[in-house]
A and B are shown apart, each in its own frame.
Chain A
Amino acid sequence: MSKYKITSRQAFLIIVTVISTSGLQPSFRNYMRWAGNAAWLPLALSIGYGIAFVWLILVLAQRFPKQSVAEYAPKVAGSLLGYPLVLLLIAIFFLRGVLSLRNVSEFFVAAVLQETPISAIMLVMVILAACAHWADLEGLVRFNELANPIIISSFFLVLMGTLRINFWNLLPVFNKGFKGLLPVFQSACSDLSIISYILFLYPFLADPEKATRTGHRHMAMAGFLLLLIYLNTLLTLGSAIGETFTWPYLVVTENLRLLERGEALFIVVWTFAAFVRISFCFYIATLGLCQLFPKLRVQWVGVAMLPLATFLALQADNLPTAVKAFTLFNHTTLYVELLVPCILLVLSIVRKKGGSTDEKVSR
């Protein structure tokens, strides 16, 4: 697997695409419901968290150059703790893929394919994800590199085409008090924490010395993009109206006057984004497993894993159940994704593993 070399820019650009799909998740409705007009404040703060988190995982990754977390975690934390920690990260990525699959499929059904069964939409997405496993990491990051400008442009196009922006929608700022700010912050941070995939990809970076600079820049871009999309939604709909829709951003695009009912065209672009998010989550889970068990092949594990993912994605009886599962997942995994690198970093410092020690030299 080490033959694949990707640039830091390619590796970190994924986060921008992945975060841009938040508009296709039910997150925005939750933000408006929890924090009202003030939800953009914790969103803005979450950018700072994201940058700090990138710093944390890069400090950890740089202590073990040319190694993935699956390789050094058992050495740092011992087999008893190391393996479960990595498996926990793998499970998070897998479940994130499952929930994204469900949410995105629901989104497509609601937006353009009302008469198509959700399982059919999932099937198409799962086949695409399987193909992404065959294209491998190199293919996936290049695809993202190609699709990213189109995806980003679509959000700016929506912004430019939105005619009914009303800045009064920001007032009163704290119309729902301060209580809802924390869940919004948690949810946004959880979205940004997906950057922990770098722990698995770090050995594939062709230019790891550039990673810090690139990582911070792209995380900031991703955070600002999320904020921009959210503000676009909030300023157009207002929180009172926005929280009544499952996908408020879809309503924003439906009201564009650029094209007559142009949301179908945006769906084309967002399918790209959804594909990157879903296949990347599954790919990281598969890659992690293959790094833990080197005899496994990414392609076959991916193909084997995807039917299970579809089965799990279909378990939620209806959309509200899926949304609840998504919210619960976001709030729980934030801490897990933060704790795992923290534990590993502390243990590596305490046990003097990695860094300038012989661990680094031996690789």
Chain B
Amino acid sequence: MGRRQKRQPIPAREFSTKRQNEETQATEEGKSLLEIFDHPISSSLEENIEVLKKLLGNSDDVIFRRITIGNANRLSAVIIVVDGLVDKVALQNNVMEPLMLWARKIEAPVVSTSEAIRSFFSEQLISFLEIKEQTTYPELVDAVLGADAVLLIDKLDIGFVLGAKQWEHRSISDPATENLVRGPREGFNEVMKTSVALVRRRIKDPNLRVKFLRLGTRSATDCALLYIEDVANPVLVNEVKRRLEVINNDSILENGYIEQFIQDTPFSPFPQVQYTERPDRVAAALLEGRVAIMSDGSPSALLVPATLSNFLPAPEDYYERWLLMTFIRIVRTASLLNSMLLPSLYIAFTSFHQEIIPTRLALAMAGARAGVPFSALIEALLMEFTFELLREAGIRLPVPIASTIGIVGGIIIGQTAVSAGLVSPIMVIVVALTAMGSFAVPSFNVAISIRILRFPLMILSALFGLYGLTAGVILILLHLVSLKSFGIPYLSPVAPLTLSGLTDTIVRAPRWLHRLRPLMYRPRDRYRSGKITSYFQSKQAMHEQGFEIPPLLEEREKEGNNP
């Protein structure tokens, strides 16, 4: 809390006349009230209350609590808060009680100057951790609407802003969309400062930078930018800041808004910004040299830049042993391809390339499709559409009803459709495998992209068989190789190829091989660790025989007695 330069207060009468003139003039020019009153506050409490009431629109949830301070040298004051957004108990104990009761008991100093009054209040009477002095009306309005308490005292041309934010919020719980078998169970909640603290708890590095900013002209949403100063590339950090600063929208109600404003290619079906509800994932990203964006009211953080390889791993891939997780990743990648290509392959094989199917299977498929009145394309579209419908219906419903929908969809519709001869049993299997494949992808937004792309691929397969399907895949790959996220190629480290980056793609190499941070983000500090990082490597380096625990002395003696 630095000392301000001393300003001459404007006399109350002069202030009132000046304000009225300005108000009339500015209203004629079509300015907003905040623009009109964008000047220093008055030393008259009544004037200030009048202006603030006008600015806050006399809303019923804004409380103006008048109090009187001291006994002999009485001073009028007012506390302004928005009901429900502040910690009333803290305000009562740490502000109102000292001002209204203690101030009468203690010996009042000689309060001849406003500077002395200010220091007396902020340094002796008010026992609040977070206290700031503001001098203009818009700052005070921002503070009140931003869930702080404002204290105005007569004869003082400043307002005290007390950090008294407290509102009802969800406690920290399991992340709903990123469940793990092994790993922390903490997820972000809607309070940004709690989310920031969860990350800070994991990275106790003084170089971790948290920059606050407000976005949305009306919502004035608090946002935070997180990065590690000596790891993240400064060009990247500046670019993220620049993109955030140019957002010109009235509201940021969720960080999905921010994602849509800052992404490179808005017309792409693929997400170029990663979101996560897990603090450990954010911490890992920051340590790679990426930047995180958080916003108040959103239980997730955005991570930029994001490449396709960021969307495929789950956080526990890094907590479990490498061999197991490499296998899981291969399964996951196969399921991703399965989810995108299986219906198209079914169409291509049944319509164009029957020769590729083993004879017995081909005969069985032909038998199963014998009574189906539709072409393979229509059959596949029908089933895929039905499945999408069931999935969409299931997501929005409460869990017990959603499971009913699942039963209705999976068993009744599936079985009935087959019995009615609308679709073949093999098509039901294909749709089921496709659905399972899309659920195996850890990232929801990539899974959606794949779901969308499945339909044009099915049409291309119906037109040209495998040739059409390949043409579709080529188009998707051409798009992917051209796509960038904050200047980083979307398919890196595969295309363009970075050999060191391949340790964390489909294969998850052992932890001690991750010596380098991903070079595609061009981090300032390229190394995570020194040359030898594990017992295994140190053993190799020093040609040791390994470590064994020798038997205890008593055991040896016993063995000596009883060989």
Chain A residues within CB distance 8 Å of chain B: 7, 9-10, 108, 112-113, 116, 120-121, 124-125, 127-128, 131-132, 134-136, 138-139, 142-143, 145-147, 259-262, 264-265, 267-268, 271-272, 275
Contact A142 B496 (CB under 8 A): yes
Tell whether A142 pairs with B355 under 8 Å between CB atoms, given A124-B464, A131-B478, A271-B474: no
Please choose the segment from B12-20, B204-212, B388-396, B465-473 that sits at the chain A interface, where 4 or more of its residues have CB less than 8 A away. Answer: B465-473
Contact A259 B356 (CB under 8 A): yes
- Report the bound CA distance from A138 to B480 in whole Å: 12
CB-CB nearest 5 A-B residue pairs: A142-B481, A139-B482, A271-B470, A142-B495, A146-B495
- Report the bound CA distance from A147 to B464 in whole Å: 21
The chain B residue sitting closest to A136, CB to CB, is B482
Contact B496 A10 (CB under 8 A): yes
Q: Chain B residues with Cβ under 8 A from A116's Cβ?
A: 464, 467
- Report the bound CA distance from A134 to B475 in whole Å: 11
Contact A113 B352 (CB under 8 A): yes
- Report the bound CA distance from A136 to B489 in whole Å: 14
Q: Chain A residues with Cβ under 8 A from B471's Cβ?
A: 124-125, 127-128, 271
The chain A residue sitting closest to B470, CB to CB, is A271
Q: Chain A residues with Cβ under 8 A from B466's Cβ?
A: 112, 264-265, 267-268
The chain B residue sitting closest to A145, CB to CB, is B495
- Report the bound CA distance from A265 to B481 in whole Å: 23
27 contacts between A and B (CB under 8 A): A112-B352, A112-B467, A120-B464, A121-B467, A125-B471, A128-B474, A128-B475, A131-B478, A135-B479, A135-B481, A136-B482, A142-B482, A142-B489, A143-B495, A145-B494, A145-B497, A146-B477, A146-B495, A147-B477, A260-B355, A260-B359, A264-B466, A265-B466, A267-B467, A268-B466, A268-B470, A272-B474
The chain B residue sitting closest to A265, CB to CB, is B356
The residue that B481 contacts in the complex, of A146, A261, A275, with Cβ under 8 A, is A146
The chain B residue sitting closest to A261, CB to CB, is B355
Tell whether A113 pairs with B467 under 8 Å between CB atoms, given A135-B481, A260-B356: yes
- Report the bound CA distance from A64 to B464 in whole Å: 46
- Report the bound CA distance from A145 to B502 in whole Å: 14
Tell whether A272 pairs with B356 under 8 Å between CB atoms, given A116-B464, A135-B481, A146-B481: no
Total cross-chain contacts (CB, 8 A): 91
Q: Does B491 contact A (CB under 8 A)?
A: yes
Q: Which residues from 453 to 510 on chain B have a C-beta closer than 8 Å to any C-beta of chain A? A: 464-471, 474-475, 477-479, 481-482, 489, 491, 494-497
Q: Does B74 contact A (CB under 8 A)?
A: no
Q: Chain A residues with Cβ under 8 A from B353's Cβ?
A: 112, 264
- Report the bound CA distance from A132 to B474 in whole Å: 10
- Report the bound CA distance from A30 to B117 in whole Å: 101
Q: Chain B residues with Cβ under 8 A from A265's Cβ?
A: 356, 466
The chain A residue sitting closest to B497, CB to CB, is A145
A269 CB to nearest chain B CB (Å): 8
A259 CB to nearest chain B CB (Å): 7
Q: Does B358 contact A (CB under 8 A)?
A: yes
The residue that B475 contacts in the complex, of A121, A131, A138, A147, with Cβ under 8 A, is A131
Contact A143 B477 (CB under 8 A): yes
- Report the bound CA distance from A212 to B359 in whole Å: 52
Contact A142 B491 (CB under 8 A): yes
Q: Chain B residues with Cβ under 8 A from A145's Cβ?
A: 494-497
- Report the bound CA distance from A187 to B540 in whole Å: 54
- Report the bound CA distance from A275 to B353 in whole Å: 21
A233 CB to nearest chain B CB (Å): 22
Given contacts A267-B470, A268-B469, A271-B470, 7 further A-B contacts (CB under 8 A): A113-B464, A125-B471, A145-B496, A146-B481, A146-B491, A260-B359, A261-B355
Contact A135 B478 (CB under 8 A): yes
A302 CB to nearest chain B CB (Å): 13
Contact B356 A262 (CB under 8 A): yes
Q: Chain B residues with Cβ under 8 A from A128's Cβ?
A: 471, 474-475, 478
The chain A residue sitting closest to B477, CB to CB, is A143
Contact B495 A264 (CB under 8 A): no
- Most chain A Cβ neighbours within 10 Å, of B353, B491, B494: B353
| A interface footprint on B422-466 (CB within 8 Å = 1, 0 otherwise) | 000000000000000000000000000000000000000000111
- Report the bound CA distance from A109 to B491 in whole Å: 33
B332 CB to nearest chain A CB (Å): 19
- Report the bound CA distance from A108 to B468 in whole Å: 11
- Report the bound CA distance from A7 to B496 in whole Å: 9
Contact A124 B468 (CB under 8 A): yes
Q: Chain B residues with Cβ under 8 A from A124's Cβ?
A: 464, 467-468, 471
| A interface footprint on B339-374 (CB within 8 Å = 1, 0 otherwise) | 000000000000011011111000000000000000
The chain A residue sitting closest to B483, CB to CB, is A139
Q: Chain B residues with Cβ under 8 A from A121's Cβ?
A: 464, 467
The chain B residue sitting closest to A125, CB to CB, is B471
Q: Chain A residues with Cβ under 8 A from B467's Cβ?
A: 108, 112-113, 116, 121, 124, 267, 271
Q: Which residues from 71 to 120 on chain B have a C-beta closer than 8 Å to any C-beta of chain A? A: none
Q: Chain B residues with Cβ under 8 A from A139's Cβ?
A: 478, 481-482
Q: Chain B residues with Cβ under 8 A from A138's Cβ?
A: 481-482
- Report the bound CA distance from A264 to B467 in whole Å: 9
Contact A135 B482 (CB under 8 A): yes
The residue that A143 contacts in the complex, of B356, B481, B497, with Cβ under 8 A, is B481
- Report the bound CA distance from A113 to B465 in whole Å: 8
Q: Chain B residues with Cβ under 8 A from A261's Cβ?
A: 355-356
The residue that B356 contacts in the complex, of A113, A132, A264, A271, with Cβ under 8 A, is A264
A345 CB to nearest chain B CB (Å): 31
A121 CB to nearest chain B CB (Å): 7
- Report the bound CA distance from A325 to B341 in whole Å: 38
- Report the bound CA distance from A272 to B472 in whole Å: 11
- Most chain B Cβ neighbours within 10 Å, of A121, A132, A261: A261
Contact A272 B470 (CB under 8 A): yes
Q: Chain B residues with Cβ under 8 A from A131's Cβ?
A: 475, 478
Contact B474 A275 (CB under 8 A): yes
- Report the bound CA distance from A271 to B479 in whole Å: 17
Q: Chain B residues with Cβ under 8 A from A10's Cβ?
A: 496
- Report the bound CA distance from A192 to B466 in whole Å: 30
A237 CB to nearest chain B CB (Å): 21
Tell whether A143 pairs with B468 under 8 Å between CB atoms, given A113-B352, A261-B355: no
Q: Which residues from 125 to 157 on chain B have a C-beta closer than 8 Å to any C-beta of chain A? A: none
Q: Chain A residues with Cβ under 8 A from B475's Cβ?
A: 128, 131
- Report the bound CA distance from A329 to B489 in whole Å: 38
B143 CB to nearest chain A CB (Å): 47
| A interface footprint on B495-533 (CB within 8 Å = 1, 0 otherwise) | 111000000000000000000000000000000000000
Q: Chain A residues with Cβ under 8 A from B477's Cβ?
A: 143, 146-147
